[in-house]
Structure 1
Amino acid sequence: MATTSKGKTTLSTVRTTASMENNGNESTCSDKLNFDDVIVRYLGQFGRYQRYIFFLVCIPSIITSMDSLSWTFSGAKNNHRCKGITETDNADYWNPSSISLYRRQNCSLSEHPNLKECPFQECYLGESKNCPYGHIYDTSSSSYTAIQRWDIVCDKAVLRAVIQSMYYVGQMIGSIMFGFLGDRIGRKKVFFIALVVQFVSGLGMALSPHCRLGVGIAHPGIFVIAVVIGVELIGPKYRQLSSVLASIFWSCGQIVLGILAYNVRDYRFLHACIAFPALLFVSYWWLIPESSRWLVAHKRYKEADQVLRKASKINGTYLPPNWYEHLVNDDLINNRESKHHNFLDLIKTPVIRKRALASFFCWPVCSMLYYGISMNTNFLGGDLYLTFIFGGLSEFPALILTGVLVDRIGRKPVLIGGFITAAFAMLSSVVLDGEVYPAIGITQSLLAKSALALTYSTLYIFTPELFPTVIRNTAMGGCSTIARIGAITASYVSMWLVDSFGKMIMVIPFAGLAICASITVLLCLPETSGKELHETIEDVEKNE
């Protein structure tokens, strides 16, 4: 862990350089600088250029958020009953035409061996069959869902969870693939590859649920890379904004999805409406540059100079010529061959290994809780569409609170408080049953969701700061990958087990894991508030 004196020196340097910028002094690179010093001194902590770029890369996160949770509506449960032999596909769910011959049930049909002669009462005593003529669905809440299209009910009900879990399997693949590519070929190229994959797969969801895998693959290449670009461009003082603002865009996506799903009840048109806006973001190729920090880390100084020079012009600041010749880190300024880093670098050295293992526990726990509640916001009661929209709205105060607290009291207290609050909200449902008091149930659900939004947002701030530049994207990709294990588990719990065994199958384990995660943060991770980002693994190891 960096010493307190070093932390004070860093903060003092930031204030001094920021003051120089505010006074309009055009200083020169006569002293040694790290890349954070370059950003703060010559661009500003969060100038016009940084705001412009970060806003652009975060807008696609709205579409990513909508894709992420779209199965909540396209795969929504429908009331259903067995279809009778004389009924057509458009038969009324509430007024079966052959009630005298069949007993209507959800997943089986009681058939009398002699349909023409038996009295009405005796027809309930025949042989039970698994709806041999199909199902009739209640379309009062939605006109057409994937559940109806593929008949995902009864003995096939688990497929509802399987399809959603495919999305998170795709995220695991995308996190590994895009995390590696982001460090190897650059953030910008990965961002645009992911946009293309999202458009093709999102449109394909209107035709086949198998495309859910491709949608999941694209997610890390868009949302995670956007956060990394923000962290690498913004000065330490406002670095937490990259996560908070990205999370606000994510929450906006949930609200837009809820409103869109309420008005577009056919799941095929819903997925088409989500997919097509991705085409607009292809124009970003001419608007967004490569990460200057990544370019410097890979010794591509001329390209980094072009990016920062444009930024300084837009920000109205002065960037000295050949500033990169004065970078303090020898690994960046010497003409030695660049090292290629991989996932194994996260476990080779003791300090990085401890941070990685702690992160690899907290991320899946947070993911499991957040997505478990997001996919089933009304599991404690309430209308599906309203509770989903309110769930998105409830994240705004939590995210604002994140932005206020992470610098004032630190990353660790906010993270611990978020986990504990979520655990309390869920455990309170054991005493105060939301099924008896619906308003209380909705409040519990929204409190847990807002606490988890705060926790997730803080993780996106905290985790990149724990790792050096050379493996930062790999670390974020690794955390995002293993987090999908929690999300996959949440799919089966919220979309299958809760329907079969009740809400406690979700409440008790989730609350217990949240408490364990808070203890892990307390004991295993350092505070990073106000500290400079390290460039190399050696920097982290010697400053612990």
Structure 2
Amino acid sequence: MFASLMASLVVGILTTWVPEFISFCFSRFLLGAFGSGVFLNAFTLGIELVGPSKRMWTGMFIEVFWAIGEAILVLLAYFIRNWQYLQLAISVPSVLYISYWWLIPESPRWLMSNGRTEEAEKIIRHAAKVNKVTLPDKIFESKIEDEKNVPQIKVYQLFTHRVLLARSLIIFFNWCVVSMVYYGLSLNSGYLYGGVHLNFFLSVVVEFIAYAMCFPLLDRIGRKALHSTCMIVGGVACCCTIFTVLYLSEEYQPVTTALSLIGKLGASAAFAIIYIFSSELFPTVVRNGGMGVSSMSARVGSMASPYIADLGQLAGGNFGVALPLIIFGGLSVLAGVASLWLPETLNRKLPETIQDAIDFKNQKPEGHADKQRMGKAKVVGISARKLDFDNPALEGDDVL
């Protein structure tokens, strides 16, 4: 992750002085690639560093800070109208990333899945000390004798079993659509009633509302139900703009903007949920790779979004205003329905191996009564190969 952080910082600053448009496009391409790597690595690391009781909070707070960044961006863009100064203003603060090398630990899950148990144990013991959790003298029943013989699992193994193949394709499709809708509605804000700065600011506000809505609901009704509902409701709202555009007069066009914002609310909530949802579905051995392919699928959607947003100019007239929203809405409803075939991950252990992921649908959620009974136990679940971060005994006092 540190390499992506540094590359993002350097390319972001150099973009300020590119001499012409082709170089600008290339530098923005690199910036987008490195920036996506930074966010995905940070998200995966955050999810893997905590126990099951904290996964929702960790994932959602990362998204909240994303929205804070957007709010800062629209504020800077309002006062800094020169794009070069604006690019410099949003790139220079990235120098703080350098501190991550000393502040952020490696994921113990990833270290253990790669046979580096001694390094993982050091991180776990440091976390336990900070959190005042007592660990046994020996937290692993057995060490891996030859760490070099640990099999290396590749991301393509997600496609070697029909269950994982179908699940992965649904996840990738949802990432593609939610990214397309999310960015498309942001780009389309300039074509709606009101100014581009105001509309973009309102879209940021609804993001905060979306995340605030997810906090109490995500651990109550589950990832699958909430994600599917957000996609479908947001999609239906976008599709309804055809009626407001064609049958309402100019003075009622703020209704179209309101429906678009409802669509953005649904897309924002779904985007936050799909990060948590998919990270809990991919097994640890290929979680980072699976999230990487998901992000690549999202980039396909985000690349298509400006062209869909510009379809309104080609169509012209009132129908042109609604056309992009109809496309975004229709695809959103389709992705939301498809996500119903995914297994629920609420209160379930993170799959560690490929076989765990295959059998994931048959895994029963941990009982709430058991969690309350065992919540205060300061012990660590132990297996032959790994520390069991998802043991319900850790719910009340997570080591990490």
Structure-1-length-normalised TM-score:
0.62
> Matches of 1:518 and 1:334 in 2, distance apart?
46
CA RMSD of aligned residues (A): 1.7
Is it true that 1:511 corresponds to 2:329 in the alignment?
yes
User: Where has structure 1 moved over 4 Å in runs of 4 or more?
Assistant: 332-336
Selected match of 1:407 from 211, 219, 223: 219
Match in the other structure for 1:437: 252
Selected match of 1:500 from 314, 317, 322: 314
Selected match of 2:107 from 285, 291, 301: 291
Amino acid at match of 1:194: S
Match in the other structure for 1:349: 161
Q: Look at both structures and tell me which one has the larger radius of gyration over its CA atoms.
A: 1
Structure 2 unpaired stretches of 5+: 19-23, 362-400
Is it true that 1:230 corresponds to 2:46 in the alignment?
yes
C-alpha spacing 1:353/1:483, structure 2 compared with 1 (3 Å) = same
C-alpha distance after superposition, 1:262-300 (max 9, x if no partner): 011111100000111111220121111111111111111
Amino acid at match of 1:527: E
> Matches of 1:394 and 1:504 in 2, distance apart?
20
**Contact residue 232 and residue 337 of structure 2 kept, 8 A:** no
Amino acid at match of 2:285: V
> Matches of 1:385 and 1:491 in 2, distance apart?
17
Selected match of 2:266 from 447, 451, 464: 451
Match in the other structure for 1:536: 353
C-alpha distance after superposition, 1:102-132 (max 9, x if no partner): xxxxxxxxxxxxxxxxxxxxxxxxxxxxxxx
Alpha-carbon offset, residue 436 of structure 1: 4.2
Please give the residue correspondences for 1:20-419 in structure 2 after superposition, counting only pairs within 5 Å.
191-208=1-18, 209-210=24-25, 211-325=27-141, 333=144, 335=146, 337-419=149-231
- What secondary structure does 2:178 align onto? helix
Structure 1 unpaired stretches of 5+: 1-190, 327-331
Match in the other structure for 1:473: 288
Amino acid at match of 1:207: W
**Contact residue 358 and residue 521 of structure 1 kept, 8 A:** yes
- What secondary structure does 2:9 align onto? helix
Amino acid at match of 2:266: A
Please give the residue correspondences for 1:416-427 in structure 2 after superposition, counting only pairs within 5 Å.
416-427=228-239
> Matches of 1:206 and 1:267 in 2, distance apart?
8
C-alpha distance after superposition, 1:187-226 (max 9, x if no partner): xxxx211111111221232233231011111122211111
- What secondary structure does 1:339 align onto? coil
**Contact residue 155 and residue 290 of structure 2 kept, 8 A:** yes
Amino acid at match of 2:337: I
C-alpha spacing 1:334/1:453, structure 2 compared with 1 (3 Å) = farther
Alpha-carbon offset, residue 333 of structure 1: 5.0
Greater shift in the superposed pair: 496-505 or 482-491:
496-505
C-alpha distance after superposition, 1:69-95 (max 9, x if no partner): xxxxxxxxxxxxxxxxxxxxxxxxxxx
Percent of aligned positions with the same letter in both sequences? 35
Match in the other structure for 1:527: 344
Alpha-carbon offset, residue 234 of structure 1: 1.3
**Contact residue 236 and residue 330 of structure 2 kept, 8 A:** no
Structure-2-length-normalised TM-score:
0.83
**Contact residue 293 and residue 304 of structure 1 kept, 8 A:** yes
Alpha-carbon offset, residue 404 of structure 1: 1.4
> Matches of 2:273 and 2:256 in 1, distance apart?
26
> Matches of 2:119 and 2:353 in 1, distance apart?
21
> Matches of 2:79 and 2:232 in 1, distance apart?
37
Alpha-carbon offset, residue 335 of structure 1: 4.7
Amino acid at match of 2:357: V
The structure with the largest helix share of the pair is 2
C-alpha distance after superposition, 1:490-510 (max 9, x if no partner): 02122x323332223312221
Alpha-carbon offset, residue 235 of structure 1: 1.0
Amino acid at match of 1:447: I
**Contact residue 260 and residue 325 of structure 2 kept, 8 A:** no
- What secondary structure does 1:535 align onto? coil
Does 1 or 2 have the higher relative contact order (CA < 8 Å, sep 6+)? 2
